Amino acid sequence: MARPIVIVGASLAGLRAAQALRNGGHEGEVILVGAEAHAPYTRPPLSKELLAGVQEPEQAALPGGKVDVEWRLGTTATALDLERRQITFEDGERLTYGKLLIATGARPRRWPGDPIGLDGIFMLRDLDDALALRAAFATGPRLAVVGAGFIGCEVAATARKLGLDVTLIDIAPQPMTALGPAVGARCAELHRAHGVELRLGAGVDGFEGDGRLEAVRLADGTSVDADVAVVALGAVPNTDWLADSGLELQPGVVCDATLAARDAEDVFCAGDAAAWPHPMAEGGVIRIEHWTNAAEQGPAAARNLLAAPAQRTPYAAVPYFWSDQYDLKIQVVGLAGQAQRMRVLEAAPDGGRLVLGGERDGRLVAAVGFNAPRRLPFYRGRLAGMPPIEDVIAAVAADEKALGDPAGATVPA
C-alpha cells in the first residue's frame, strides 16, 4: 500500500498545497496536520477587521476547506526522522509518510528573558490571540504597542480607530524599518496625524505592575502608562521540531529553487517556514512571511512534489505584500530591504497616490505604493528581471495611466 502524502501545517500554505494535490490529479491518501484546532482561516483580518469587531471568526474561514484529505487538527509535530520517513507527534504517535510537505508557518518572537508574568500583555499571531485582544480592547484601555513593524502598526491603527489612547514604541528611529527611512517617515507622519504617540529610538527595559500591567519601562528611564500592551517583535519560523532531523535550517528549512528541501528525499516546504534561493536574492536564500507568498508557494511546492525531478519548476514569483493602516493601503513588490536608495516613480498632484522605486546598482529591486493598488501589478510584472531603473522611469512616463508629477526624484532608502 502506498504511503500517504503528509502536509504538516494546516494554514494557508498547507491548505493551498492540499488543494493543488487534488487539482493535479493525485488520488492517493493525503493527511493534513495542523497544530491549531481551528479549520484554516486567513490571517490579515486578525490585526484589522476581526480585531476591530467588524468581522467574526467564521468570516475569516478560508474557502476550500472541504478538500478531500484526512484532517488532523489540534495535532503538533515534535520530530522528524528522515531515514525512517516518520513524523512524531506530541502524544507519541508516529506517522510514516511517502512524501512530506512542511508548511508549519511562524510564531511571534517572544520577549527575551523570563516570562513577564503580568496580565494585560498580548502577542498577535492566531485567531485566539486576536479574540483575546479584542476583548481587552472593549474596556477602552491605554494601549502600548512594543514594536513598530507591520503588525504593530496595524494594531495601533485599529486601536486608534476604536478610540483608544495608543503609544507606539520601537528602538528603531522610524516605523516599518524593513522598508527604509522614506517609507518609515511617511508611516510615522501617518500615525502622528491620527493621534498615536510615538516613542521611537527607545528601547524597552521591561514591564511594570502588580499582577497586571501598569506601565512599560523604557531604557532612558521614562515609562509609558498602559493597561494593555501588545508585543510585536516579528516572527520566527516553526522549525524547532526539525532541529534534530538533519534538514538544513537558517532558521527556515533551506530548499532548492523548486522548494525541495536540500539533502532530503521527497521533502518539500512552503510558506513562512521555507527559505529558498530566489533569483532576486543573487545567490542567497530568502524567507517571506506574507500572505501572498504562502498562497502562491503552497501550490507550487505541491506541484513539484508530484512531478519527477526533471519536471519540477523553480519558484520565482516576485514577492508581494500589503498593509492597511487607517485609510492608507501600503503595497510592496520585490525586495525593499535590498534597496540602496528610493526614487519617486509616481506622485499624484493631490498627494493621494505615491509609488517609490527601490534601486540597487542602478536596477529596480522593489516598488512601494501608497494608495496605488492599480499600479503595483505594473511593477511586479517588471521586477523579475530587475530592469535598469531609468528604463522603468521612462516606461512610467510613457504610460497613460501614470498621471502625476515627473518621476525620478531621489529620497532616502
First to last CA, the chain: 57
User: Which pLDDT score is estimated for 115?
Assistant: 66
User: Which pLDDT score is estimated for 412?
Assistant: 53
Which pTM does this prediction carry?
Answer: 0.94
The CA-based angle 212-125-377, given to 5 degrees, is 140
User: Which pLDDT score is estimated for 114?
Assistant: 62
In three-state secondary structure terms, 343 is strand
H helix and E strand count, the chain:
8, 26
Per the CB < 8 A criterion, the answer to whether 300 and 292 are in contact is no
Query: What ranges do the domains of the chain cover?
Result: 5-107+236-311, 121-233, 327-411
- Single out the residue of 242, 235, 287 nearest to residue 263, CA to CA: 242
Pick the CATH number of 5-107+236-311 from 3.40.50.1100, 3.40.50.2300, 1.20.140.150, 3.50.50.60: 3.50.50.60
User: Which pLDDT score is estimated for 409?
Assistant: 57
Secondary structure letter of residue 61 according to DSSP: B
Q: Which three cell numbers stand for residue 193?
A: 496625524
Per the CB < 8 A criterion, the answer to whether 367 and 383 are in contact is yes
User: Which pLDDT score is estimated for 105?
Assistant: 97
Q: Where are the alpha helices (DSSP H) in 53-180?
A: 127-137, 150-161
User: Which pLDDT score is estimated for 218?
Assistant: 97
User: Which class does domain 327-411 fall in?
Assistant: alpha beta
Topology agreement, domain 5-107+236-311 and domain 327-411: no
Predicted confidence pLDDT, tens digits, the chain (413 residues) = 689 999 999 999 999 999 999 999 999 999 999 999 999 999 999 999 999 999 999 999 998 778 999 999 999 999 999 999 999 999 999 999 999 999 999 999 998 876 688 999 999 999 999 999 999 999 999 999 999 999 999 999 999 999 999 999 999 999 998 888 888 999 999 999 999 999 999 999 999 999 999 999 999 999 999 999 999 999 999 999 999 999 999 999 999 999 999 989 999 999 999 999 999 998 899 999 999 999 999 999 999 999 999 999 999 999 999 999 999 999 999 999 889 999 999 988 877 889 999 999 999 999 999 999 999 999 999 999 999 999 999 999 887 554 555 455 555 55
In three-state secondary structure terms, 315 is coil
User: Which pLDDT score is estimated for 411?
Assistant: 57
Give the fold, CATH level 3, of 121-233.
FAD/NAD(P)-binding domain (3.50.50)
- Single out the residue of 280, 271, 278, 233 nearest to residue 252, CA to CA: 271
What does the DSSP assignment read for 326-393? TTEEEEEEE-GGG-SEEEEEEE-TTSS-EEEEEEETTEEEEEEEES-TTTHHHHHHHHTT--BHHHHH
The CA-based angle 22-25-26, given to 5 degrees, is 70
User: Which pLDDT score is estimated for 194?
Assistant: 98
User: Which pLDDT score is estimated for 312?
Assistant: 98
Place of cell 488520488: 27
Q: Which three cell numbers stand for residue 390?
A: 531609468
Place of cell 502608562: 225
